[in-house]
């Protein structure tokens, strides 16, 4: 059985400001750095062999803190990037026009072909996230990788493992530096392949953590 840990990056300045990030970027806040150290402590003794991260700054910084604790190198994986949110990237959530809010909601309300202009669909996101996860099957036997990615991206990945379409209504909250785990296994009482062991665990965090747009 292959166990793969999934971590969302620590809080960023734009998370706190309710600014849409997508594949744009902003630095971790002091709280985000603290969250990264806490999740690093949580997994320090789990036997992590590979820390694989989205190549955006907020995930790479989070990943480096975890890798230092686990004695691993950081491996960049662009397929773990956040959903590309097109023309809405860098925009303040509360400043969106009525039409822009329609585009944004299509990414979370179950619209099959929802796409922000110049951005990705959830189906496109799901395809690259699953490809990144499946590539872990090629790691040496006995590996225990940890992937650092983003809230929408990880939520989409976990939801599709559970059998939901990529564009299904979003009902899984993954807060900053939450920890999830998926396993690839064969079982008489579970479907073969990837299964969800845990999702969105924040028991290691001392302070409340944000979801993507929550205050």
Q: Per the confidence metrics, is the pTM higher than 0.85?
A: yes
Q: Is 184 a catalytic residue?
A: no
Catalytic, out of 9, 50, 61, 150 = 9
Encode 63-90: b = buried (16+ Cβ within 10 Å), e = exposed.
bbbbbebbebebeebebbbbbbbbebbe
Residue 122 assigned as binding residue: no
Q: At a CB cut-off of 8 Å and minimum separation 6, what does 164 contact? A: none
9 is catalytic: yes
pLDDT value, residue 78: 98
Q: What is the pLDDT of residue 210?
A: 72
Task: Give residue 28's pLDDT band: very low, low, confident or very high (50, 70, 90).
Answer: very high
Domain extent listing, the chain: 2-201
10 annotated as belonging to a binding site for a ligand: yes
Q: What is the pLDDT of residues 43-95, one digit of tens each?
A: 999 999 999 999 999 999 999 999 999 999 999 999 999 999 999 999 999 99
> Does the annotation list 12 as a binding residue?
yes
Point out the catalytic residue in the list 82, 89, 120, 212.
82
Residue 204 CA to residue 31 CA, distance in Å, equals: 14
Please check if 84 is assigned to a binding site. Answer: yes
**Domain 2-201 grouped into CATH 3.40.50.1240:** yes
119 annotated as belonging to a binding site for a ligand: no
């Amino acid at each position: 059985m292959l166990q793969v840990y999934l971590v969302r990056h620590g809080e960023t300045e734009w998370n706190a400001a309710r600014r849409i990030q997508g594949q744009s970027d902003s630095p971790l806040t002091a709280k985000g750095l603290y969250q990264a150290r806490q999740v690093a402590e949580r997994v320090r003794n789990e036997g992590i062999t590979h820390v694989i991260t989205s190549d955006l700054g907020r995930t790479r910084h989070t990943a480096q803190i975890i890798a230092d604790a686990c004695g691993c190198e950081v491996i960049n994986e662009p397929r773990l990037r956040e959903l590309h949110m097109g023309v809405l990237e860098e925009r303040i959530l509360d400043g969106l026009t009525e039409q822009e809010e329609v585009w944004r909601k299509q990414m979370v309300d179950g619209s099959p072909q929802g796409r922000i202009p110049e951005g990705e669909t959830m189906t496109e996101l799901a395809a690259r996230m699953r490809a990144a996860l499946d590539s872990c099957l090629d790691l040496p036997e006995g590996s225990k990788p940890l992937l650092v990615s983003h809230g929408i991206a990880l939520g989409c990945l976990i939801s599709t493992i559970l059998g939901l379409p990529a564009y299904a209504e979003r009902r899984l909250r993954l807060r900053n530096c939450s920890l999830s785990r998926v396993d690839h296994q064969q079982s008489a009482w579970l479907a073969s392949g990837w299964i969800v062991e845990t999702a969105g665990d924040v028991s290691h965090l001392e302070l409340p953590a944000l979801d993507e747009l929550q205050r």
